[in-house]
Amino acid sequence: GIIFTKTRQSAYALSQWITENEKFAEVGVKAHHLIGAGHSSEFKPMTQNEQKEVISKFRTGKINLLIATTVAEEGLDIKECNIVIRYGLVTNEIAMVQARGRARADESTYVLVAHSGSGVIERETVNDFREKMMYKAIHCVQNMKPEEYAHKILELQMQSIMEKKMKTKRSIAKHYKNNPSLITFLCKNCSVLACSGEDIHVIEKMHHVNMTPEFKELYIVRENKALQKKCADYQTNGEIICKCGQAWGTMMVHKGLDLPCLKIRNFVVVFKNNSTKK
């Protein structure tokens, strides 16, 4: 049999306790621990040769009870067992199936041992439900027509590509949002440098204004009475225009102050380390 436990320390402690307990020896139990070979724990790992030696003894019957960490759930060639016990260890439904798969002998038993109120039994119940859903999904896929299966695969691939593109786009947007100096605004007509992203301030979560003295030297204000009718949601004292004649936005009035409010469509936006966008 195999007892699965969570940590290397608990595997070693259980192995020692069973070995030193005469009652187990009386019924022929010969136990040994089996733990991972990695160095991710403070507890001394087993080498691969030590693992192979323990598994070899388990196959020949010199050892008939392994107390193992999750290293024995997959990847190691271990013979069929009569009993598999998970001692307070619950991970996911895949690990549960793998652990139970070790109990391949006829009339074998799979047991979960846990403290009451630890939440382990509840997680195992969830895993059991997920396992049933997994097999149900496999059954549905196996009964698909070839053309339907191919179409679904293509659909999932396209969805994955779109999700990857959106993730990349969000990552780039976040990068530039955190580093506004990497963005510059050029006049759409004459390409003069108007400002950078760090010069822009947002008012009322919608109006983008530039109040720097340097920017003030780059434009002129022209009266436009028709513009006031269009901008019903805020007051304006005219439009701001590049010296080349290209409109840049409006001179909005906010709390008694004249603020140059920019319209993105009037600029070429340049992203550093990226392509230029209009």
Q: What is the mean pLDDT of residues 241-253?
A: 91
Answering whether pTM is above 0.85, one says no
pLDDT in tens, 57-86: 988 889 988 898 876 565 565 666 788 888
The stretch 250-259 carries a mean pLDDT of 86
Q: What confidence tier does 275 reach under pLDDT thresholds 50, 70, 90?
A: low
- pLDDT, average across residues 110-117: 76
How much is the pLDDT for 278? 45
Exposure letters 80-119 (e unless 16+ CB within 10 A, then b): ebeebbbbebbbebebbebbeebbeeeeeeeebebeeeee
Annotated binding site: 187, 190, 242, 244
Residue ranges of the alpha helices (H) in 185-270?
213-216, 225-230
Is the CATH code 3.40.50.300 the one for domain 2-136?
Answer: yes
How high is the pLDDT of residue 254?
84
- Give residue for tokens 């193992």: 68
Q: What is the pLDDT of residue 102?
A: 57
**C-alpha span between 4 and 6 (Å, rounded):** 7
Q: How many CB atoms lie within 10 A of CB 6?
A: 15
Q: What is the pLDDT of residue 261?
A: 92
Report residue 225's pLDDT band, with 50, 70 and 90 as the boundaries: low
Residue 176 has pLDDT above 80, yes or no: no
Question: Residue 99: which pLDDT band, with cuts at 50, 70 and 90?
Answer: low
What's the confidence (pLDDT) of residue 111? 81
Percentage, residues of the chain above pLDDT 70: 82
Q: Residue 126 — very low, low, confident or very high, per pLDDT cuts 50/70/90?
A: confident
Length of the chain: 278
To 10 degrees, the CA torsion angle through 131, 134, 140, 141?
A: -140
pLDDT (average), residues 31-41 = 77
pLDDT exceeds cutoff 50 at 37: yes
Structure tokens at 172: 């780039």
pLDDT score of 103:
55
Domain range annotation of the chain = 2-136, 180-271
Nearby residues of 141 by Cβ (< 8 Å), 6 or more positions away: 149
List Cβ neighbours of 36 (8 Å cut-off, separation of 6 or more): 8, 45, 46, 69, 70, 71
Q: Distance between CA atoms of 228 and 99, rounded to whole angstroms?
A: 73
Residue list, annotated binding site for Zn(2+): 187, 190, 242, 244
180-271 in CATH: which number? 2.170.150.30
241's CB contacts (< 8 A; 6+ apart) are: 219, 220, 221, 222, 247, 248
Helix (H) or strand (E) holding 239: strand 235-242
The stretch 168-184 carries a mean pLDDT of 82
Mean pLDDT score of the chain, rounded to an integer? 82
- In the chain, the percentage of residues whose pLDDT exceeds 90 is 32
219 has a pLDDT exceeding 90? yes
Among 6, 48, 53, residue whose Cα is nearest residue 32: 53
